[in-house]
């Protein structure tokens, strides 16, 4: 059901943990849906120098969190915003259709963290880009 | 350790089936030699099944599994007794093979009461009694729950139904072959079972229908199963069911006692070694092989898959809904919050499991839970 | 020679099934290793089945046999389209697995037209066209008749239904594996098949459901078969179906031609050697293996049993009703009088039959018929 | 399904044929039901000296005809009238339940033949005891 890459990132997730002095923190999901993802980023000169995550969720949620943090490390914020759920899923050699929504979660967490950073910097207002997004539909896409 | 999802086919059972997969391939409804051999094999399996349940052979009807037996019992009685009434009583923790037929009947003009359970998953027989109305035609309460293992007070519920003149069906798919099940002592009118839960083949089950109970056929066609269940008989499957139920019934009590001792060791060990855990299901009124927990702050599938990599098969929620994120309706009925229900793990022991298996689980489970908790934002938040 | 009732399991098919009867016993709906192996095997069988029929894998749903597939197709479409209309069209010569669900629907407020057939058993596509009304939701006409072997003009009927926007189901239980069946070329919306008719196991079948066709589930419960057919998958059976349909599809045309040649020899020989005999079914538009006769003045079961004693399996009427004295509804629909319909004999040839088998039947059948005629008061009366 | 005795009387039926100068002939059944039985008896001094039958029907019908003729040969008419469908079935070591009605047919044919004999002798009137009885219900007893 899961690719080898997914299993690898699930069993040996990269970048697990919190960044206490993070520059941006994004949290998405809802425990009712079985998934919560929290992403921490450290930003220097508009570039993501470090990223960590905490995830409550299934194997796909953990693997996509791990892969997403790997993908954005070293990227500028602009570049990081181009990382979509598809990019993450592809980097994992694919996800089962019923698990595709988990990769959306990773994309949302990433955006939320970047928005949080921008909000802290006064680049956007809190209303426009909350750092906590409740993913509305948590049913598998079937 | 997922014997509740399915079990291996016992070699003796396969051996009994083999003749009907090779030379003796007759259609049990034809007249000539091969057909008669097949018919005799089917009737012998029926006798074995009847004997195991304390029933008469004429009260046993073979089906394609537990799901079909449940569908048939519920829809068959409902439609047959429609003129008498349109109210059905069941519980919130039934298997989907009972719940979904009930929901289907609601679309067809029936009223269904889904009784709540207590925090151990027990149905209160008093609730059943109070729920029965003038127009109640059927009560269906499972013998033992497939997730949390709780054994319901079926005999008492059956007595109440009998007194009030309402038919009583029990889904005994998880019970048959694991605990003694005797339709006479229980006083049930209909009972479902499925062979693959007791080392028989998949795709074969049976419905016990007490003599005199009227129910509509569900699968219409040829005159098989005395005109009540059409379709060419799955002879090998039926023979396998008969052989498996006979095997499972022999020394049932000793085997159950051995497995229950392993279960108690497993439950005791987990409760001792892992903090923030809840045992689900009744402490003693439970299936001998069932151990079911909720581990706070983590999610079941990821726990399950970690264990799988380490060689331990388990289940989270019921097998049918694994892979979906909906939390189990059974755990929600116990009153657990969603995020707690999400962290569930079912380990079900069978004949093949040993002390060593239990020791191994007790060794790897605590560290696996801990690893996942270290990744969990809920756990981090709780540590503050 | 009763291959239409059931066929032997091919050794290659059993071999394909064995792993799922022994080591690989996983529940195809669970997440861990054994479960995934089982799931892959089920999906491979689905692909094989789809390929054999020219369908997509997502259009194949496994059932417990041809009877369940027929029940599901008919009740499932009827209830799903109820708001559109309540009229169903079928033929008088369908298998009971179609007729009885139709009769059941009549009790639930549906109207059913049972089209007549001509003396060869052919449905007139013009009759179908004329019978379709505003409120017609389903037409179900069998691909090939199980008693007399007549092959119906299914493609033409499908075209008419498509034009008029009515769903079309065909019971192809007797056809699949014996004649080419391609759902695209035929243009059918639903098609039933059963593995034991083409050297697969008993108790497993499939329903083809064209993409986009809505039908209610029939067996409700867990989420198996993409939420359309609940119940733990009969993995070994499904794998057997997949292996058998693949085998049956290979060199189908040559095999059919060989069997048809034997059939023609058998039919020719019987018509030549036995007086007062009628060939039933169409002379050329018939299943390659089917030979069906009515012998005047004698009764089928006694003929059948005499042949059985001499080592020839056959059938009188359909396998399901042998042992009952009701004359076959198919023969009555051809317009035969009761006493003539009673003297029917079906011989169905398969891959295992040889020239010698045919010669042997041609040797013993005339004398057996004669022996029974000498006992018959109808024959005596005729001789005067 | 059938006992050895049934199979023996079916495959090698005794007393097949007609008695051209029979003293009594009974015919019962209905081709619509799939069974017709015709019984011929030769009577001397109130005793059945010979009996023959013709049967259109299933194996059970043929075997019961055969057994019934065997049972009545040599019996007085009074004794023969005590032969019931049960006697015939028991003499055959039993019949499957769905075939019990065939043994009724044999009993009826015997009675019809005896009645025919008595009618010919003027002992009863034709109305009271027809020699041709249509067995009304030809469905198996299930
Ligand atoms: C309690 C219960 N009922 C019904 C079923 C369905 O039985 P089957 O899988 O044979 O269709 C199961 C298991 O899947 C079960 O555990
Ligand atoms: C034409 C036809 N339809 C349906 C069936 C029923 O299939 P099954 O025996 O697999 O239930 C049969 C055979 O029994 C058949 O010949």
Give dist(CA B16, CA C34) in Å, integer: 24
- Establish if B380 touches chain A: CB-CB under 8 angstroms: yes
Average pLDDT over residues B39-60: 96
**What residue's CA is closest to ligand 1, atom 8?**
B66
pLDDT at A132: 58
Q: Edge-to-edge strands of the sheet including A47-56?
A: A47-56, A35-44, A24-30, A132-133
Cβ <8 Å between D13 and C305 = no
DSSP B330-346: HHHHTT--HHHHTTEEE
Phi then psi dihedrals of residue D124, to 5 deg: -135, 165
The ipTM, to two decimals, is 0.85
Give dist(CA C112, CA C136) in Å, integer: 9
How far, in Å, from the CA of C58 to the mean position of ligand 2?
23
- Establish if D49 touches chain B: CB-CB under 8 angstroms: no
Instruction: Give the distance from residue B192's alpha carbon to the nearest chain C alpha carbon, in angstroms.
Output: 13
Average pLDDT over residues A50-75: 94
Strands (E), chain A: 24-30, 35-44, 47-56, 132-133
Query: Contact at 8 Å (CB) between C295 and C345?
Result: yes
Decide: helix, strand or coil at residue C198.
helix
Give dist(CA B257, CA C140) in Å, integer: 55
Query: Contact at 8 Å (CB) between A80 and A48?
Result: yes
How far, in Å, from the CA of B210 to the mean position of ligand 2?
29
C174 lines ligand 2 (CB under 6 A): yes
pLDDT at A131: 56
How far, in Å, from the CA of A126 to the mean position of ligand 2?
67
Mutate to test the interface with D, among C294, C295, C305, C381 (most CBs of D within 10 A): C305
Tokens, residue C169 = 């189901």
Contacts (Cβ under 8 Å, ≥6 apart) of B158: B168, B170, B186, B187, B188, B189
| CA contacts within 13 A on the Cβ side of C323 | 22
Q: For a pocket test of ligand 1, which of B9, B74, B92, B146 has the largest count of ligand atoms closer than 8 A to its C-beta?
A: B146
C346 lines ligand 2 (CB under 6 A): no
Contacts (Cβ under 8 Å, ≥6 apart) of D61: C299, C302, D35, D37, D55, D102, D105, D106
Give dist(CA B177, CA B188) in Å, integer: 17
**Nearest ligand, CA of residue B29?**
2
- Establish if B350 touches chain C: CB-CB under 8 angstroms: no
Give dist(CA B127, CA B125) in Å, integer: 5
> Tens digits of per-residue pLDDT, D12-71?
999 999 999 999 999 998 766 668 899 999 999 999 999 999 999 888 899 999 999 999
Q: Edge-to-edge strands of the sheet including C290-295?
A: C277-279, C290-295, C344-348
Query: Contact at 8 Å (CB) between D112 and D130?
Result: yes
Tokens, residue C43 = 């999906």
> Which residues of chain B lie closer than 8 angstroms to D1, CB-CB?
31, 36, 39
Give dist(CA A12, CA A62) in Å, integer: 10
Query: Contact at 8 Å (CB) between B247 and B50?
Result: no
> What number of H helices and E strands is found in chain C?
15, 10
Query: Contact at 8 Å (CB) between C7 and C230?
Result: no
pLDDT at B321: 39
pLDDT band at residue A137 under the 50/70/90 scheme: very low
The catalytic residue positions of D are 33, 102
pLDDT at C29: 66
pLDDT, mean of each 10-residue run, chain C (384 residues): 84 95 74 76 97 97 98 97 95 97 96 98 98 97 97 98 97 97 98 97 98 96 90 96 96 95 97 96 96 93 90 69 64 90 91 95 96 93 78
Given C297, C326, C327, which is nearest D56 (Cβ)? Answer: C297
Contacts (Cβ under 8 Å, ≥6 apart) of B36: B26, D1
Ligand 1: nearest atom to the Cα of B65: 10
> Tens digits of per-residue pLDDT, B224-241?
998 999 999 999 999 999
- Establish if D18 touches chain C: CB-CB under 8 angstroms: yes
Query: Contact at 8 Å (CB) between D135 and D29?
Result: yes
Query: Contact at 8 Å (CB) between A59 and A38?
Result: no
User: Element (H or E) spanning D43, and its range?
Assistant: strand D35-44
How far, in Å, from the CA of C7 to the mean position of ligand 2?
12
- The share of chain A scoring above pLDDT 90, in percent, equals 63
Tokens, residue B133 = 């109305």
Other CB atoms within a 10 A radius of the CB of residue D86 amount to 12
Nearest in space to B255 (alpha carbons), one of B7, B24, B5: B7
Average pLDDT over residues B274-290: 96
Give dist(CA C15, CA C21) in Å, integer: 10
Contacts (Cβ under 8 Å, ≥6 apart) of C275: none
- Give the pTM: 0.89
Q: Is the pLDDT of residue B71 over 60?
A: yes
| CA contacts within 13 A on the Cβ side of D27 | 11
Nearest in space to C11 (alpha carbons), one of C313, C243, C254: C243
Decide: helix, strand or coil at residue A109.
helix
> Tens digits of per-residue pLDDT, A114-131?
999 999 988 876 554 455
pLDDT at C317: 63
Give dist(CA A40, CA A15) in Å, integer: 10
C63 lines ligand 2 (CB under 6 A): no
Residue whose structure tokens are 């027989």: B125
DSSP 8-state symbol, C189? S
> Which residues of chain C lie closer than 8 angstroms to D18, CB-CB?
380
DSSP C293-320: EEETTS-HHHHHHHHHHTT---BSS-GG
**Nearest ligand, CA of residue B28?**
2
| CA contacts within 13 A on the Cβ side of B265 | 18
> Which residues of chain D lie closer than 8 angstroms to B39, CB-CB?
1
> Tens digits of per-residue pLDDT, B82-107?
999 999 999 999 999 999 999 999 99
C315 lines ligand 2 (CB under 6 A): no
> Tens digits of per-residue pLDDT, D111-124?
999 999 999 988 87
End-to-end CA distance of chain D: 16
Q: Nearest 10 degrees: CA dihedral of B237, B241, B244, B245?
A: 180
pLDDT at D127: 54
Cα-based distances in Å from C64 to B203, C3, C15: 7, 20, 21
Average pLDDT over residues B267-288: 97
pLDDT at A32: 63
Instruction: Give the distance from residue C47's alpha carbon to the nearest chain B alpha carbon, in angstroms.
Output: 20
Give dist(CA A48, CA A71) in Å, integer: 10
**Nearest ligand, CA of residue C72?**
2
pLDDT at A125: 66
- Comparing B270-284, C310-324, D71-85, which segment has the lowest mean pLDDT? C310-324
Please, which chains are in contact with D (at least 3 CB pairs closer than 8 A)? Answer: B, C
How far, in Å, from the CA of B221 to the mean position of ligand 2?
9
Q: Is the pLDDT of residue B254 over 50?
A: yes
Contacts (Cβ under 8 Å, ≥6 apart) of C381: none
pLDDT at A115: 93
């Amino acid at each position: 059901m899961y690719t080898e890459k997914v299993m690898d990132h699930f069993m040996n997730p990269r970048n697990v943990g919190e960044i206490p002095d993070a520059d941006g923190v994004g949290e998405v999901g809802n425990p009712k849906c079985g998934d919560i993802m929290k992403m921490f980023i450290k930003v220097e000169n508009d570039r993501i120098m470090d990223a960590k995550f905490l995830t409550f969720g299934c194997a796909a949620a953990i693997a996509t969190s791990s892969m997403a943090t790997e993908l954005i490390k070293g990227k500028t914020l602009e570049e990081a915003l181009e990382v979509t759920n598809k990019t993450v899923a592809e980097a994992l050699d694919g996800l089962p259709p019923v698990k595709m929504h988990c990769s959306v979660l990773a994309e949302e967490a990433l955006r939320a963290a970047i928005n949080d950073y921008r909000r802290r910097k006064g680049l956007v207002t809190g209303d426009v880009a909350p750092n906590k997004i409740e993913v509305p539909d948590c049913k598998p896409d079937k | 350790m997922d014997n509740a999802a399915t079990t291996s086919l016992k070699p003796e059972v396969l051996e009994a089936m083999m003749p009907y997969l090779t030379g003796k391939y007759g259609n049990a409804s034809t007249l000539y030699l091969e057909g008669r051999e097949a018919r005799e094999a089917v009737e012998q399996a029926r006798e074995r099944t009847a004997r195991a349940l304390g029933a008469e052979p004429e009260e046993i009807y073979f089906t394609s599994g537990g799901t079909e037996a449940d569908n048939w019992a519920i829809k068959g009685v409902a439609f047959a007794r429609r003129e008498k009434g349109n109210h059905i009583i069941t519980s919130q923790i039934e298997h989907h093979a009972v719940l979904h037929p009930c929901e289907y009947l609601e679309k067809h003009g029936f009223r269904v009461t889904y009784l709540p359970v207590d925090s151990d998953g027990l149905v209160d027989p008093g609730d059943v009694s109070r729920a029965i109305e003038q127009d109640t035609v059927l009560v269906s309460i499972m013998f033992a729950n497939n997730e949390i293992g709780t054994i319901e007070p079926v005999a008492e519920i059956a007595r109440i139904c009998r007194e009030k003149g309402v038919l009583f069906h029990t889904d005994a798919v998880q019970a048959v072959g694991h605990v003694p099940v005797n339709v006479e002592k229980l006083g049930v009118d209909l009972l479902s079972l499925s062979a693959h839960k007791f080392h028989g083949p998949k795709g074969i089950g049976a419905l016990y229908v007490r003599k005199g109970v009227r129910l509509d056929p569900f699968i219409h066609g040829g005159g098989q199963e005395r005109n009540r269940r059409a379709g060419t008989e799955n002879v090998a499957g039926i023979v396998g069911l008969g052989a498996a139920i006979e095997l499972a019934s022999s020394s049932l009590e000793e085997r159950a006692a051995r497995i229950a001792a392993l279960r108690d060791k497993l439950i005791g060990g987990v409760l001792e070694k892992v903090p923030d855990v809840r045992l689900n299901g009744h402490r003693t009124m439970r299936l001998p092989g069932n151990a079911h927990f909720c581990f706070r702050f983590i999610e079941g599938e990821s726990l399950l898959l970690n264990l799988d990599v380490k060689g331990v098969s388990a289940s989270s929620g019921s097998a049918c809904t694994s892979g979906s994120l909906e939390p189990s309706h059974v755990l929600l009925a116990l009153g657990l919050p969603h995020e707690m229900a999400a962290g569930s793990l079912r380990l079900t022991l069978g004949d093949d499991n040993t002390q060593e298996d239990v020791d191994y689980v007790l060794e790897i489970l605590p560290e696996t839970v801990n690893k996942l908790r270290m990744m969990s934002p809920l756990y981090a938040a709780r540590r503050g």
